Each structure stands twice: as C-alpha cells, then as structure tokens.
Structure 1
Amino acid sequence: MSIKSEININEKVISLYEKLFSHKWAIPVFLLGVSVTAFGLLIPNLGYYMDDWHHVYYSYILGSDGLRDMLLIGSNRPYAAWFYDSIFNLFGYKPLGWHIVALVLRWATVVIFWLIFGSLWGKFQRQNVYISLLFLVYPYFMLQPMAVAYSLHWMGFFLYALSLWLMVIAEKKRGYFGAVFVLIALVAEWSHLVSSEYFSGLELLRPLILWILLYRKEKNILRRTRNVFWKWLPFLLVLAVYIYWRFFLLALPGGDRNTPVMLLQFFSEPLQIFASLFNTMIQDAAIVMFNGWHNVVAAKVLNLTNLFNRYVLLVITFSFIFVFIWLKNTYGLRKENIVAPERKRWQKEMLGIGLGILSFGPLPIWLIGQDISSHKNQMAATRFGLASMLGATLILVVVIDYFITQKGKANIAVALLVALSIGVHLNNAHQYQRSWEKQLNLFQQFTQRVPDLEPNTAIISEGEILFFMGEYPTAYALNTIYSDERTGEESNYWFYAIYSSFYGVLNQFFDGMILEENFLLSDFSGNSKESLIISFEPELEQCLWVLRPEDSDLRLISELERKASLISAIDRIQIESKAPRLLPPEIFGKEIPENWCSYYQKADLARQRGEWAKITSLWEDAQKSDKNPANGFEYIPFIEGYAHQENWESVKKMTRHANKVSQGMASILCSTLYNIKDTTPSSVERDNSLTRLTDYLQCQE
C-alpha cells in the first residue's frame, strides 16, 4: 500500500471519528452511557423500598381503582394513577422495569434541559454539556433506587422541562407553528402540575427564561417587559387554574396533607413569615449545594479491603478517563468563538437562573411547612432538593468557568467531579441492593415458617430490621405476600418495632394493649398479646427466629426480646395449611436457592405441627447438601425431633455441638431438655441420656 493511500485512509478515519463526536445527537447518547454507568449497573439487583411498597400493594391486590383511591387519600395526587397504571401494565410487577423507567426519565429530563440551554446559549456548547453531565449525576438525591415512589417525580420534572423547551421553540417559530407549540407546552405544564406538585415553584422561572430569550430581539426594556408578560400569561393562567382547582375544587376524603400553612400565615404575619422563608431558603440552598459533595471523598470508599470498593474505584477511574477523552475529542466542543462580554453575560444569566431555581424550586415544600434543613431524616429530605439540584449545578458550572479558563483543565475538573459522583451513586445503590437481599431473605424464611396467619396479627421485632424500609412498608410487603391478588381479598397484618412504637409504654405492651393503625386505605386492629415476636439478624449468621414463650431463657437475644417472647402467640400461625406459601414470582422473581435457613424454618414449622419424623428427615437432607447451622439455637428443633424419635445418641451429639457453636446456650438447652423429659415416654436410655446432658450443662431445675 502506498504512503498516499495510507494518508487517505487515515484522513477518512479521522473524518469519521470527528463526525461521530461532533454529531448533535452524540451528546444524548453519551449522557445515556453516563446514566447507565451511574444508575444502571446494579439495577438488576435492586428491588422495592419504603414508599414503593404501598404503590405495589394497592395496584397488585386492588387494581387500578385501589391505586387511584390510595393516591387520592395518601398523596392527594389522584391524577398520577395514569402513570403508575401505565408502567405496571407495561412492565408488570418486577422491580427491574421501574428502575429502567427511573433511569430513562432522569436521562430524558437532562437531555431536554440540554436542548433548552442549547437554544438559549448556542455558543456555549461545552458549558452546556458540563451542566448536563453534572446535573445528571449530581450527588445529592439519594432516593433514585426507590424507583416506584420517585419515578413520578422524574416524570414531573421531565414534563416541566418539556413544557419549557416547547415554550422556547414556540418563541422562535412564531405564527401557526408557534401557537401549536404553545398549546402543547400548556398541556405539558398542566400534566406535570396535576401529577406532582413538586415542580410548581419552577413555573415562576418562566419570565426569566423569556426575558433572556427576548433580550436578543428586543433591547427596549419596557417593550421587552410587556412582551414577557404576554407570553408568560397563558402559562400563568394554567398555574392559577391549577392552584384554584387543587385547593378549592379537588375533593380530598382524607383531608389535605399539603395545606399551604406558611402561605396562610403570611397573610397575618407577613414580615415574620418572609424572614422565616428567606432563612429557610439560605439553609436549604447551602445543603443542596455542598452536602452531597462530602460523599465523594468519604473515607469508607477508600477502604480497598472491600471488594465492592475496589470495583467502584475501577469504575471511577474508567469513567474519568472516558469522560475526559470524550470532552477533549468532541469536535463541536473544541470550536469556541466567544468574546469576553458574551462570557460575562452568560455567567450572569446562568447565575441568575441558578439562584432563581434555588429560590423557587422548593417553594411548594416550604409553603406546606416542610424544609430540608430541619427534616429529621436528611436522606429522605433529599427529595425536597430535586428541583434545586439544577440550580446548584448551574452555579457550580459558572464557578468552574470563571476560575478555570483553560478548556483542558476545565475538562479535567468536570470529568473528575462526574467520575466521583458516579462512585457516590454506585455506593448508594449497593446499600439498596443489600437491603433488597435482606428483604428477600426475610420474606422467604417467613413464608417457609408461616404458611398462613390469623387475621389481625402483628409481627413485632425489637427494632426495625430492614434498612430503607420501616414499619408500614414492611407491613405492606407482608400483606402483598399474604393477600390473594386473584380475588382482591386483602390480608390484615402489621409490622411494629418495639423501640419505635412501644418503648414509652412497655408495661401496657407486655400486659396486652390494643394495636390500631389507619394508613391510607388500610385499617389494622390487633392486640400485642396476639402477635408474633421475631428476631432477624442475618449479619450474625442467624436465620429468622419466630420466638416462642419457651425461648425466654435464650441468652443470645436481648433482655427486651426475651421478655417479649413470653407474649409471642405462635398459635396464630395456621399450621393446618399444608400448601407451602410462596413469594409471588411476578414480584420477587425466582426464590433464593435452598440454604440452611430453609431447612431450619421447615423444621421449626414441623415442630409446631408435631411432625417429628419430618424434622429428622430434614436434618438428613441438610447433611447430604452440606448445610449446617452457624448458631447453636438452630439445633434445638432437631434435638427435639430426634428426642421424639427416641434417637438419643443424636440428641446427645447435637446438644453438645449446639453448646460449643454458640456461647450462652446452656439456659435454653436446659429448658429444652426439661421439656423433652416432660413430653417423651420414659426409658432407661432416655433418662440416662438426659441426666448426662443436664450434668454436662450444669442445669439447675
């Protein structure tokens, strides 16, 4: 091949390379790649959490009508039902579909804002991409894995952005096409308002966008002000109609949980309320702008003995290299023809919009008396800063552009921030992954131990046993499992944690107190003495323990759990039900492969049924599968099983082994041996075996 031919081929490759990077739609594709890296790598392993569960329950058990009624009473958003119904019908009830939807909506929202900024500041392509990248992975909103609950918020944000973009296009089109775009923009505005009120405050940003847009055409301030008002008026009217409909026409059977208390107080105490709102605005803006970034350098991330941390570090490294190379080589971003006055004006406009978003974005939250700074759960409060993240990003990019004037250094800074933010989101998703794994573990063991349960039974633990959950989400998950989706027949159970619900009334709790809950459309009424007490600490290599009054001598649980075990009503487990209870596969997917805890739960249920031969058979099956308990307490059903089968050699062997596996087993083993003595037929071998064991354990009857 001649040198000339090689040069021609190289020129073609370079030309193709530049076309690929400079193509306008290469940027959305690039942003999608960043989205998948930050939010998509772990989504096959994510599930449902917290507020996801009541949406799943009402849709799965009661269908569209139940979901709509719940949204009306629970969140005052009845017109959000179209969104939930659509996604459930499209993807079914497995979590994966919702996580894909949440990712796509977040990405689509960013792309629309990129189009808006491109329409307003076409020369500032590089800065517009900086904004898009940093807004996409801004390390503040930590509830992304709660996909059912917060996909609606991203849908609302997307519809707002779409409405804003169509408004900008309409101004450029004018005439018939301009009117059509305005009409579609108004529909999008109404849709985001009635679906979720979170972004209604951003409607006050439209005049500023129009002012910047009209600046290029109209220099006369008076005429520009008049034009801005008339172009904003249709959108202002839609906002006014929404406010009137929302607070005066919409019938809310359960009362309005979003009453604008601050607005009502403003009419009687305007100065005090204004000062309070201003103070709240400053504090919340500071939290959104700065709090998320301390996570990017958290010391625990640098613990390289952890395998997942090493994986995250690898992803961060490759992300930095990839983003930097992309920014450096994107053809359209390397050509800049911006003079100093244009840059200054752009910085001022961006700063103004950023401050406007920080001021107006959380306004709906502030007006109902909520805020970020005083919220007791700062992680949950990150949802209040969703709109503000965009404003914080604009200000951050202005700061980068002002202080780092060299493109190469600015590219490095942005690539580093993006890569570190990706690491934050990966670590966050990993925590949610662990929560889902723990949920699957709990629910599968619970269904193996409890094939059915008397109605109005509470399931109670010492503390909350599932992170990113809570009492009512765990209750809804259990009710989803035990209800009959074919008939719409609801089960009626609730979950409580003693420390959070009864710590101040322990005496009444132990004596037997009425338990009542009225949450959304669900009512629960039970009694503390008609409850199951459970202990679940898989981190200590323990299975789920459904405690019995006989377990009050167990030293492996806390004093509070021992006392609570005395009121554990295991007779509420309907042991007559022979059909195994399975987790709904359309929600949970495939069951966890059988492990030791599967054998333990089945043996514990068989003990309650008095099926002693089945217990010994389960032990033999476990041994064949090389499954063994890691805790001495989990030998006890098998000790009792072999005792009732009069296999005293196995009883002696297991008892000694249980005592060695876990410290503090003597008390519960002694109680077990005394119970065996009372419930098995007398024989010389039995009496000799029990005597030797009680002497070995130094039991005192």
Structure 2
Amino acid sequence: MAKKQFLNHFLLAIGLLLICVFSYGLVANKLGYFLDDWYIIWTYRTFGVEKFLDFFKGDRPLFSYVYMVFIPLIKDSPLNWQLFAIFTKWLSGISLWCLLRLLMPKKDLSTFAITALFLVYPGFKFHHFAVMYSQNYAILAVYFLSHIFMILAIRNPKRRCVYTILAMILQFIGIAPMELYYGLELVRPILIFLELRDDTKPLKVQLTRSFKTWLPYLLVLFGFTLFRVGFGQLYSYQLGLVNQLKSDPISTIKQLAVIVFKALVDSIFNVWVDILRQFHAAIKSGNSIVVGVSVAAGLFALLLLFYSHRTNRTTDSRITSFWLPVLGVYIILVGMIPVLIAGLDIGLAFHNNRFLLHLSVGVCILIVSLVDLIIRQGYFRLVLLALLIGISIGANFIVGNEYKKAWEAQKYFFSQLTWRVPQIRPGTVLITPEVPFETYYSGTSLTAPLNIIYSPELNQNPIPYQMILAGSPQMKSMPELIPDQPIYRVSRAFNFQGNTSDMLVFEMPTRGCLQILSPSTNPQLYNNSRYAQLWEDLIKLSNLDRIVTNKPDAELPTRYFGSVPQRDWCYYYQKAALAEQSQQWTEIVSLYDRAKSEQLNPVSSRELLPFINAYFRTGEIKEALVLSENLLTEDSNFRFDLCRIIEDADLMNISQDREQMLKFLDELKCEGD
C-alpha cells in the first residue's frame, strides 16, 4: 500500500514538473538575460564569485551568499539558467505540496490543485528573469521546508529538538537574504495553533501552548527584525512606511488601505481579466498557437487532477473547507507587509507584479477553496480547476513570447551597434532617452553586454563603457548636459569614469535602423517626442570621434547571444553610415547597389541619407535627387539634412543636371543659388 501511494505521489510530482515545462519551457532555449540578470552574470564573468559580497553590499548583504552557492554551479549559460529556474520553481511547488499535505492529509485534490495553480499563477510575470528568480524560488522552497520541519517537530516529541533547530535554520534562510517572505512569518503561529488544536481543552490553554511552541521561531523573527532595523543602512530598501506614518499618519493609512485593496483585487480578480486581454491581443495578432497550448495544458491538468481525485478522501482535516478561504486572504494580507513597509506598490503593472509571487500562495488557496465550496459536483470542479490551470499556462506562454521579442530586439540592437561602431574608445558613454525594449532592460543592465562585447577581456575597474537611458532615474546621478563635465558612476561592483564630451548619442526607433547621431543632426526631428528638449541637449554632445573606425567589428559572444541576425537592410545602412564618417563615397554607392540587388529596402526613408550624400559626392545627381524626393515625401524636416549635405559637398554651383538641381534647391529653400 505504501509503495503504491509513493508511486502515485511520484507520478503527480512528475506531472507538476511537466506543468512547469509547459508553462515556461517552450521558449526557454530562445531567451537570454534581462534586467539584473545581465550584470549579475557580468560580475561573475569579470571578477568571479567573491565579488558578490561587494555586489550586494548596500542592498541585501545576506543575499550574496545565496548567489555564491548557485552561480558557480550553473555558471553563465542562459539556457542552463532558464532550466534551473524551472527546476527551482518546481522544487518550491513540491515543498508547498508536502506542507499542504501535512496540514490537510484528507484533501488530496485540493492540495494538488493549489500547488499546480501556484506553479503557473499568471499574475507573476518575472519568471524568465531566470538568474534572479531561480534564487527566489530556491529560498521559497527552503522557507516552506521550515514549516514542514516545524510540523514534524510538533508531531514527533522524541525528535522535537532536532526538527525545531532545522526549522529555525531554514526559517532564517527563508526570511533573511531577501526579506520578501518576512510577512509570511505571521502565518506560522496560525499553523501551530491549528496543528495543536484540541477542542477538549480551554482556548486559553491552547493559545498558551501554541505561543510556547511558536516562541523559538518568534525569537528568530525578532532577532532578524532587530538586525534589519539596526543596520538599515546596509539595505537599499528603507522603512519608508514608518517615516510616512510619523509625518502624516491619517493620509498614510488611507493610502495604505487603497494599495491593499487594489492589490487584493488585482491578485484575485483582475489577473483573470488580464488573461482575457492577453488572449484577445494574441489571437488578434495571429498568435493562435496560444489556444493550442492552453487546450493541451488544460487537458493534461485535467488528467492530473482526475488522477489525484481518485484517492481523494473528503473527511475532515485540521483545516476545514470553510476556513481555507479565510486563511488564503490572511496569507495575502500578511504577505504584503514587507512590500508596504518599503513603500512599494503591488499589482499587475509590470514592475509591481514581482511582489505577487509569494502572495500567490494565498491567492491559490483562496481560489481552490472557493471552487471546492461553491461547486459540489466533483467533475465540474475538476474541469473548472483544469481550465484555470490551462489558461494560466497559455498566459505564461504569451508572456514568454514577449520576453523572446525583447531579447531578439536587444540582440538586434547590439548587432547593429557592432556594424556601425566597430570599436569604441574607452571612457565613452552611450546615451539615449529611451529604447523600445526598456521594460526588460535598464541602462545599467545594458552596460553589461556593452562591455562584454567591446571589452571581452575586462577584469578590473574602472569599466570602459557605460550605457545611459537618459529618460530614466539614471540621469539623477549624471552631471549637467554641457561640454566637459566629469562623469563618475558607481553601480554595485563596477565604477566608471568619463566625460560629457565623450558621449555617443543614439536612437533606437521602434521601426527602422539604429541611428548614431552627430551634432549636426536636426533636433526638429524629435519635436513630437516627450523627450524633445532632452534630445536637443544630447545631440549637441554627441562625439563621433569616440568611434574607432579602422579596426575589425566587435562580435556578439555566441555563448550569450547565440546566432546573430543575418545581414539585412540595416546592415548595409550601418556600413554606409560608417563609411560616410570616413568619406568613403564609392563604397557607400557599392553598398546601396548590393542592397538593391538583394531586394532590400529601407524601413524609414531617413536611412537613405548616407546614400544620398554619396550619390551627390560621386556626381550621380539624378539618383541623389530621386532618393531625396522619397525622403522629403516622408518628412519635410529632413530638408535641414539635405541642405547640410548640399552645403558640405559644395553643390550650389554644379554644372551637371543644373536645371533639376536648381529646381530642387528652390524647393529646399537652402541658402545660396
């Protein structure tokens, strides 16, 4: 009997792993690094694992030891990290499942359904930040394990001391490195009380006994709290809520109530509305495969739920069905505590949904228990739970594809950069107000691949290159945007020294090729941008002399980027822009001819400028005028650039095709005849 039960649980555990693979693994081999993952890997590559002590100093100092354990094991393979994130997510689910089965041994279906839904909860969209969140999952698995040993200590008096010590150690590992699970400690005394509950004894006796059992864990919690408050300067997240309560308690409490209510609504209800929007957008854009993924995942989930339902026993357990929804809401509320104390928001907005990871435990308990209470017909219950799991997996597949698009966009950006900028002089800042993929990348994170590509042998500070997104908070630590201002930046383990006169300004449009801007770029092109003034200030400071044009192109390491994009129109455009910088006019004409022979065309007519310049310079006026007309048809603001080209090339008094040229000059209204 025990052997058969073990086999059943083993098969269900494998089923949970397959659910994780369905949810996150279908795009795992097509992803790279995002946000903090990039400079975590860069730190390891540049300095080794010991530097993580400095990396997390002033942020979460105890978190460094977690990375020092796992980074040397997985190293710097993007695919390995994606697979490791799936594995650790599964481990956290298995740990939760074991805990739930200890607490509710007679509710096989409910415990399995809660675990399955937790593993694929669609409100949390940070899974593919695999380096960061594989550590979080591992800590969460350990944290659940601390509760398991706590329950075992209560049930096994002979081993109580050993199990309690193990539980306390795992408790500390669970709350200290990143403190995200700190609020869940208030669930522990509830579980202790439920485990020790004895209706034959007075409530006071039960509460006293529960408090005594909780006391060792309370000491760990109290000790860490003292450390966190006493050494708050070691952490980047300060106790913002405390200061707000002191200065304006009534307003702060009102604001807090709004945040909590919104977080409850978002995590429990709006998350499913958001899924419908995701599905509608995906199907409308032609991504109908998401329906197939959801149906297949839902059917598989139904099979697993049916299998777990076969042995489901509905007799009462320590936690009755009536109290489960209450417990779920309580877990959600106390889980918010560390986030609220830090003064942060919780919700479905991208940078706020990361805090839904641990809240999803309570959400899933609430949802499954409500389904259990409301729908009494067993098979209808199975179908509804399978539907929720299936559409959650489909939603995660959609999110995974968004990450894939962002990764491809970032890879294409750096490919174009190496085509246009073969090498860069050390001490250079690459700066732009924004990039299309900045949801998944900050300027700090993009600094990592920039240096990996252009300084692959780097092993010391200061770093040679810095990426700045000027529309982001990075600008708070930048000097005034005027010439010859020193720049000194410290970011975790790295520091950079530069100057505002040593900057390359670029634009990465949503459609079209990367633009490396020169001081002669017309700022009126950006009049409709929300960063119009910033563009004007930056353009004046762009220094093309920072580009080293006479060395081989830097290369994107295949270890991180895989295969690079094939040569397309933007390749020929970037090479033409580079040749224009060196005044290689015949080479530019040759590049245009090759692009046309391959039937490649510009996405934006702006990309015709270096070819127009080359045709004018080589005396092919007719071709230059045809391309110029195409350019002006798209945007009359390019009149400025064409006038500059004509003036620089001294074309005001040419004799060849003079009539056409004079007509064109009249239309442009450039100075001169």
TM-score range, shorter chain: 0.7 to 0.9
Match of 1:354 among 328, 341, 354: 328
Identical positions, percent:
24
For residues 221-277 of structure 1, the C-alpha deviation after alignment (integer angstroms, 9 at most, x for no partner) is: 4444344333322222222332333343x595xx54333344577799999977876
Report the CA distance shift for 1:198/1:215 in structure 2 as closer, same or farther (over 3 A). Answer: same
Name whichever of 182-191 and 546-555 sits farther off. 546-555
Q: 1:53-202, aligned counterparts within 5 Å?
A: 53-73=38-58, 75=59, 77-176=60-159, 178-202=160-184
Partner of 1:699: 668
CA contact (8 A) 2:55 2:64 kept: no
The yes-or-no answer on 1:212 pairing with 2:194 is: yes
Greater helix share, structure number: 1
Deviation of residue 166 (structure 1)? Answer: 2.2
Deviation of residue 393 (structure 1)? Answer: 1.3
The 1-side partners of 2:204 and 2:33 are apart by 54
Report the CA distance shift for 1:122/1:694 in structure 2 as closer, same or farther (over 3 A). Answer: farther
The 1-side partners of 2:281 and 2:189 are apart by 46
Match of 1:49 among 31, 34, 37: 34
Q: What 5-or-longer segments of structure 2 have no aligned partner?
A: none
Match of 1:534 among 493, 501, 506: 506
Report the CA distance shift for 1:494/1:488 in structure 2 as closer, same or farther (over 3 A). Answer: closer
The yes-or-no answer on 1:417 pairing with 2:399 is: no
The 2-side partners of 1:597 and 1:196 are apart by 43
Deviation of residue 652 (structure 1)? Answer: 2.9
The 1-side partners of 2:188 and 2:168 are apart by 12
The 1-side partners of 2:79 and 2:432 are apart by 30
Partner of 2:605: 632
Deviation of residue 40 (structure 1)? Answer: 1.4
Report the CA distance shift for 1:165/1:317 in structure 2 as closer, same or farther (over 3 A). Answer: same
Report the CA distance shift for 1:289/1:668 in structure 2 as closer, same or farther (over 3 A). Answer: same
Report the CA distance shift for 1:688/1:554 in structure 2 as closer, same or farther (over 3 A). Answer: farther
Q: How many residues align?
A: 659
Match of 2:293 among 288, 302, 315: 315
Deviation of residue 408 (structure 1)? Answer: 0.5
Deviation of residue 441 (structure 1)? Answer: 0.9
Write the letter of the residue equivalent to 2:120. V
Deviation of residue 550 (structure 1)? Answer: 3.5
Q: Per the alignment, in what secondary structure is the counterpart of residue 459 of structure 2? A: coil
For residues 324-381 of structure 1, the C-alpha deviation after alignment (integer angstroms, 9 at most, x for no partner) is: 23323x1x52244435xx27951244234323312321212222333426xxx93211
Report the CA distance shift for 1:143/1:687 in structure 2 as closer, same or farther (over 3 A). Answer: farther
The 1-side partners of 2:11 and 2:423 are apart by 55
The 2-side partners of 1:95 and 1:401 are apart by 40
Partner of 1:327: 305
Partner of 2:430: 459
CA contact (8 A) 2:88 2:134 kept: yes
Partner of 1:3: none
Partner of 1:547: 517
Match of 1:399 among 370, 388, 394: 370
The yes-or-no answer on 1:290 pairing with 2:254 is: no
Write the letter of the residue equivalent to 1:209. L
Name whichever of 186-195 and 390-399 sits farther off. 186-195
Q: What 5-or-longer segments of structure 1 have no aligned partner?
A: 1-17
The 1-side partners of 2:104 and 2:408 are apart by 46
Partner of 1:428: 399
CA contact (8 A) 1:451 1:573 kept: no
Q: Per the alignment, in what secondary structure is the counterpart of residue 380 of structure 1? A: helix
Q: Per the alignment, in what secondary structure is the counterpart of residue 549 of structure 1? A: coil
The yes-or-no answer on 1:385 pairing with 2:353 is: no
The 2-side partners of 1:209 and 1:276 are apart by 31
Report the CA distance shift for 1:576/1:282 in structure 2 as closer, same or farther (over 3 A). Answer: closer
Report the CA distance shift for 1:530/1:620 in structure 2 as closer, same or farther (over 3 A). Answer: same
The yes-or-no answer on 1:660 pairing with 2:630 is: yes
Deviation of residue 492 (structure 1)? Answer: 4.5
The 1-side partners of 2:278 and 2:22 are apart by 22
Q: Per the alignment, in what secondary structure is the counterpart of residue 198 of structure 1? A: coil
Partner of 1:470: 442
CA contact (8 A) 1:528 1:567 kept: no
Write the letter of the residue equivalent to 1:257. S
The 2-side partners of 1:670 and 1:278 are apart by 60
The yes-or-no answer on 1:481 pairing with 2:453 is: yes
The 2-side partners of 1:487 and 1:628 are apart by 42
Q: Per the alignment, in what secondary structure is the counterpart of residue 164 of structure 1? A: helix
Partner of 1:688: 656
The 2-side partners of 1:300 and 1:78 are apart by 41
